[in-house]
A = this chain, B = another copy of it.
Amino acid sequence: MKQVKAFVEGEEIIGFYLLKSVGIKQTNGAAPKDYLDLILADPSGEISAKFWDATHTDKETFFAPMLVKVKGLVHSYRDKLQFKISQIRPASPDDGHHITDYIRSAPVAPNDLVYAITTAAASIQDEDLRWIVNECIQKVGDKLHHYPAAKGMHHNFYAGLAYHVVRMLELAEFIVVQRPFLNRDLLIAGIILHDIAKTEELTAELGIVSEYSFTGKLIGHISLAVNWITEAALRRGMDLTSEKIVMLQHLILSHHNLGEWGSPVQPQLPEALALHLIDQLDAKMQAAEDALDTMADPGGWTPPLRALENKPLYRRKEL
């Protein structure tokens, strides 16, 4: 199958691709017609596609995410490649293709990521913290295997959340050796839980966020995670004002650092500061890596990146 990234103007394509988003639009003019405005994708990238002759049935058949077989022509529109579909149908089991092969995923297998997280959780020495972290991991259940970490800013792919946590854990293990005054238990617990309630804040399938949930909009993942900790602590019979619980909740509450970024309190424990800085480093480096990988050729530029204060990045040819 031809990779999306390798599409060339003028080429005819037949193949299976992920239908990542579907919109019904209408042509202009006295006799406007509905058409399907689609995004086709595979792990190498994505392309805008149009299906001009959409029937009423078509409009009720195609939803994202779904694996489809398409036939069509690559052409150029406003300096970008676009795909004009002549035929499209949903993939069937008989086709022998699995949608999971067509979505962007973390470069590490989800099972390995979850194993790394549960191993880190098991290594927490303090029994209370370990118990609470495990409760929260169990609450998330299978979502830890596949949820992305965000809608668009960073780690927006299959298992992006687990991958983000694992990379932060690696950094944390390095830093607690470099700076022994940090409490490892608290930092590890904070890293595992800091974004865990994104699984409640966001509605996602196959690593693709479709929207913020009702609860996500009104409460947000920071306060949701604090609620989960409260719930677990009460179930274990712990006092909510015990220093351990207060500190752990503080790490979650302060990990966005500033009020305007969503944190109601600012970091006042060194582990809270470390959590914030490790989170920043991993999220921004991943956003940079993904943008260079999918949006720029060597010697070229990405578009301005929202995750990097709207600055574009240059992709080195080679030094």
Set B76, B246, B277, B292: member contacting A284, Cβ < 8 A: B277
Q: In the complex, what residue of chain B is closest to A30 when comparing beta carbons?
A: B52
Contact of A313 with B270 in the complex, beta carbons under 8 Å: yes
Give Cα A241–Cα B163 distance, bound, in whole angstroms.
Answer: 27
Give Cα A308–Cα B183 distance, bound, in whole angstroms.
Answer: 19
Q: In the complex, what residue of chain B is closest to A249 when comparing beta carbons?
A: B219
Chain B residues, Cβ within 8 Å of A103: none
Does A209 make an interface contact (CB < 8 A)?
A: no
A:63-97 near B, CB below 8 Å:
76-79
Does A126 make an interface contact (CB < 8 A)?
A: yes
Contact of B234 with A249 in the complex, beta carbons under 8 Å: no
A:260-275 near B, CB below 8 Å:
260-270, 273-274
Chain B residues, Cβ within 8 Å of A58: none
Chain B residues, Cβ within 8 Å of A314: 214, 217-218, 268-269
Does A215 make an interface contact (CB < 8 A)?
A: yes
Q: Which of A11-19, A143-151, A170-178 contacts B (4 or more CB under 8 A)?
A: A170-178
Q: Which of A38-46, A113-121, A154-162, A222-230 contacts B (4 or more CB under 8 A)?
A: A222-230
Q: A23-B78, A33-B30, A218-B314 are in contact. Are A270 and B250 (CB under 8 A)?
A: no
- A–B pairs, 7, beta carbons within 8 Å: A24-B78, A29-B29, A219-B253, A223-B223, A243-B317, A244-B319, A268-B312
Residues of A bordering B, CB below 8 Å: 23-30, 32-33, 35, 52-53, 76-79, 126, 167, 170-171, 174-175, 178-179, 181, 183, 185-186, 200, 214-215, 217-220, 222-223, 226-227, 230-231, 234, 240-241, 243-244, 246-247, 249-250, 253, 258-270, 273-274, 277-278, 280-281, 284-285, 288-289, 292-293, 308-309, 311-314, 316-317, 319
